[in-house]
Amino acid sequence: MKLDRILPFAKILLKKAVSTGGVVVDATLGNGHDTVFLADLVGDTGKVYGFDVQERALAATKDRLNQQGLLGRATLFHNGHEHLAASIPPGDHGKITGAIFNLGYLPGSDKTIVTRPETTIAAINQLLEIMAPEGIIVLVIYHGHDEGAVERDALLQYCSTIDQKTAHVLQYQFINQKHHPPFIVAIEKM
């Protein structure tokens, strides 16, 4: 297949925005895969700020970072992503070049603990305020469950109303696949 699948495409977008020494956000730590990817992108002089409401996600992410020798590049918060502007030091505001959200629930965990549209939208609004110009926010939207469908609809509505003078908004998805495959909404700040 020549078309990029969803998760590889998310990484392609982030690679375009993030460079060595950069400041980035993993808004939903999950099992730490994106955090490790981002920590590798920013190098020894960069910073990754990660957020999750579940202690299990923080522990898994710390363990994964530690195994790769990347723990020193990340600051992890046991807090929701809607608190990112207050959590990230003001000295890094205006320097953030990339952010990723994997929305839905933590794989292999309690499926009743899910991301919510109101907190995700609050985090996106904050990122658009504190990101560097041309910074990219990648939303990977998993919508194959009831709460995911609600969040999908709210996010698509919200993202379609972002002023084109503020950001470019892209939707990337496969439209002929079964079982509600995830898709991407990417937001590039102007």
- Interatomic CA distance for residues 66 and 102, integer angstroms: 21
- Interatomic CA distance for residues 61 and 88, integer angstroms: 18
Q: What is the pLDDT of residues 136-184, one digit of tens each?
A: 999 999 999 999 999 999 999 999 999 999 999 999 999 999 999 999 9
Q: Which residues pair with 167 in a beta bridge?
A: 189
Q: Given this model, what pLDDT does residue 34 score? A: 98
Fold category of 6-109+125-130+138-189 in CATH: Rossmann fold (3.40.50)
What is the spatial order of strands in the sheet that 183-189 belongs to? 74-78, 47-52, 23-26, 96-102, 131-141, 183-189, 167-172
Using the CB atoms, write b or e for 59-69: b if 16+ within 10 Å.
ebbbebbeeee
**In Å, what is the CA distance from 114 to each residue of 117, 147, 180?**
10, 7, 17
Q: What is the pLDDT of residues 45-57, one digit of tens each?
A: 999 999 999 999 9
Confidence of residue 190 (pLDDT cuts 50, 70, 90): very high
- Tokens 């904050």, residue? 126
- Structural domain boundaries of the chain? 6-109+125-130+138-189
Q: What is the pLDDT of residues 124-143, one digit of tens each?
A: 999 999 999 999 999 999 99
Q: Could you tell me the two tokens for 17? A: 């925005």
